[in-house]
Amino acid sequence: MIFLSKILIFISVLQLLFTGGCQNQTLIDNKYASIYEYNPKLKKNNHNDNKKNLGIPDPLKLIEKKSLSQEGINRSNKNKIGFKPQTLSNETNFKGMTDVTLCNYATISSGSTTDWAYLSYKKFVLEAKRRGLGCGVGVKKESNTVNVSKPKNTKPSISSAEFKKEKAKRLEEERKRKSLEQKLASFEQEKQKRIELEKKLAALQSEKKNQIKKAKQKEIGSGFYVSKFRHIVTNQHVVNQCKKITVGDSMTTQIPADLIASDKRNDLAILKTVSMEMASSDTKSFIRKLKMEIGPIVSGGLMRSDDVVGGEEIFVAGFPLANQISDSLKLSDGIVSSTKGYENDVSKFEITSVVRKGNSGGPIYDSKGNIVGVVVEQVNVSRSDNVNFAIKGSTVKQFLSAHNVPTKWSNRKDNIDTKDIYKIASKQTVMVVCHR
């Protein structure tokens, strides 16, 4: 009777427990029942003593222990979302239970981690796994401690089209960069070439300056003999401010000459070669040659008495560009284009003959071989247009008479060949060099 009363008490306690506890306790009761069923001898003895002898725990103590354990689990689950304590039966119906409620029963929290509640709610655990629910098992809860860390790269991933577009953009930038580098390299090469050209140009300019300086040191003009006493007529601007004056028939054959008289207004000057006593052997030989050639020409007269007329044919003799092209005598033809000079100057006339630097002071012949004037200047009207002028023979004759230089009027009246005019000019015309 005592044993049956204890079993009734045991069954009433089980009904007050949750399903997990009921299940576990039912298993225990069944275990004990099977033991008592198949061991009739045990029924005759005291029930508590029999359990002690078999090593079986006291059911009341197990129920008390389970109740305390279940109470702790319930306290732990109070904080779970959606937890609603309910009495669980041996045959639990999971069809109307939500995943959240199922996870609340199937798990147990311990500190910062969540584990499966195999001991208390095994059926719930099995059902949760059957549904494929993780229920947060093995996931650590976030603590309230704020961890200062570097921000993660939240840059969203780009699509394949955007990636291709970005790649094409970078390739284009690379191409532009290479093109720019090539242009810079080409620019550097051009810069080096320009520097070399500038150096060459500077060298040429320096050489040109030296040539100009040398040319300035030696001003070259022309002149002609007007008497057998070695008198020479030239322009005043050719022999102006010269430290030394020399004359000859080339750059290498020169003898000294003195300035006897000059007229700045009419741009005329008279020179005279050195005397035989002061001359060197080469100069004496040159003077003797001049005497032999000039004598017959001077004796026949040099200057024509009447002035030129418009349209008259003329020939200009001299040594133009003697230090640049050649130092031989040059003869050019032309006509008298006007009987007046610059600004209606009646002492001069205009010619069409080619006049260059070095022609100044040279004689102008007519078609008969008579001297009719002296080349004086070239006026540049524009870059492509210039006008040449000459001093009339009558003006030259007055200048010579004023300085007591004897001369005769020419008496040639027949036209001669241009070759003969060149022969006369080569015997009478000289190169005048002004050393500054």
Q: Residue 20's pLDDT band (boundaries 50, 70, 90)?
A: very low
Judge if 254 and 294 occupy the same domain: yes
Give the count of domains, the chain. 3
CB of 295 closer than 8 Å to CB of 311: no
H helix or E strand, kind and range, residue 379: strand 371-380
Rounded to an integer, what distance in angstroms lies between the CA atom of residue 278 and that of residue 252? 20
3-state secondary structure of 23: helix
pLDDT surpasses 60 at 285: yes
More confident position, 221 or 55 = 221
b or e along 160-180 (b: 16 or more beta carbons within 10 Å of the residue's beta carbon)? eeeeeeeeeeeeeeeeeeeee
Could you report the per-residue pLDDT of 103-138, keeping only the tens digit for each?
Answer: 888 888 777 788 888 777 888 888 888 888 888 887
Rounded to an integer, what distance in angstroms lies between the CA atom of residue 318 and that of residue 325? 13
Judge if 244 and 99 occupy the same domain: no
| pLDDT above 90 as % of the chain | 31
Range of the domain at 355: 218-435
Say if residue 76 is exposed, middle or buried (CB neighbours under 10 Å; 0-12, 13-18, 19+): middle
CB of 117 closer than 8 Å to CB of 90: no
More confident position, 416 or 75 = 416
Q: Residue 351's pLDDT band (boundaries 50, 70, 90)?
A: very high
The residue among 55, 71, 87 that closes a domain is 71
Judge if 67 and 89 occupy the same domain: no
pLDDT surpasses 90 at 205: no
| Residue 105 included in any domain | yes
Judge if 256 and 290 occupy the same domain: yes
Owner of token pair 């006369």: 424
Could you report the per-residue pLDDT of 364-401, keeping only the tens digit for each?
Answer: 999 999 999 999 988 877 777 789 999 999 999 999 99
Length of the chain: 436
Whole-number Cα distances in Å, 76 to 71, 194, 428:
9, 91, 143
Judge if 12 and 113 occupy the same domain: no
| Residue 118 included in any domain | yes
In this structure, the number of other CB atoms found within 10 A of the CB of residue 71 comes to 10
| Residue 89 included in any domain | yes
| Residue 423 included in any domain | yes
Rounded to an integer, what distance in angstroms lies between the CA atom of residue 33 and that of residue 211? 141
CB of 363 closer than 8 Å to CB of 425: yes
Whole-number Cα distances in Å, 232 to 85, 220, 293:
148, 15, 15
| Residue 257 included in any domain | yes
pLDDT of 297 reads: 57
Strands in 280-365 per DSSP E: 313-318, 330-338, 348-351, 363-365
pLDDT surpasses 70 at 313: yes
The residue among 11, 43, 71 that closes a domain is 71
The residue among 139, 169, 184 that closes a domain is 139
3-state secondary structure of 348: strand
Judge if 37 and 90 occupy the same domain: no
3-state secondary structure of 228: coil
In this structure, the number of other CB atoms found within 10 A of the CB of residue 101 comes to 18
| Residue 1 included in any domain | yes
Judge if 300 and 427 occupy the same domain: yes
Judge if 6 and 113 occupy the same domain: no
Q: pTM of the prediction?
A: 0.50
Could you report the per-residue pLDDT of 144-181, keeping only the tens digit for each?
Answer: 544 444 455 555 556 788 888 888 999 999 999 999 99
b or e along 126-150 (b: 16 or more beta carbons within 10 Å of the residue's beta carbon)? ebbeeeebebebeeeeeeeeeeeee
Judge if 9 and 52 occupy the same domain: yes
pLDDT surpasses 60 at 278: no
pLDDT of 156 reads: 52
Say if residue 199 is exposed, middle or buried (CB neighbours under 10 Å; 0-12, 13-18, 19+): exposed
Judge if 311 and 396 occupy the same domain: yes
Give the CATH number for residue 306: 2.40.10.120
Rounded to an integer, what distance in angstroms lies between the CA atom of residue 41 and that of residue 64? 28
Rounded to an integer, what distance in angstroms lies between the CA atom of residue 397 and that of residue 270? 12
Tell me the pLDDT of the chain averaged across its residues: 76
Owner of token pair 């005279």: 272
Judge if 27 and 131 occupy the same domain: no
| Residue 276 included in any domain | yes
| Residue 397 included in any domain | yes
More confident position, 31 or 235 = 235
Judge if 92 and 9 occupy the same domain: no
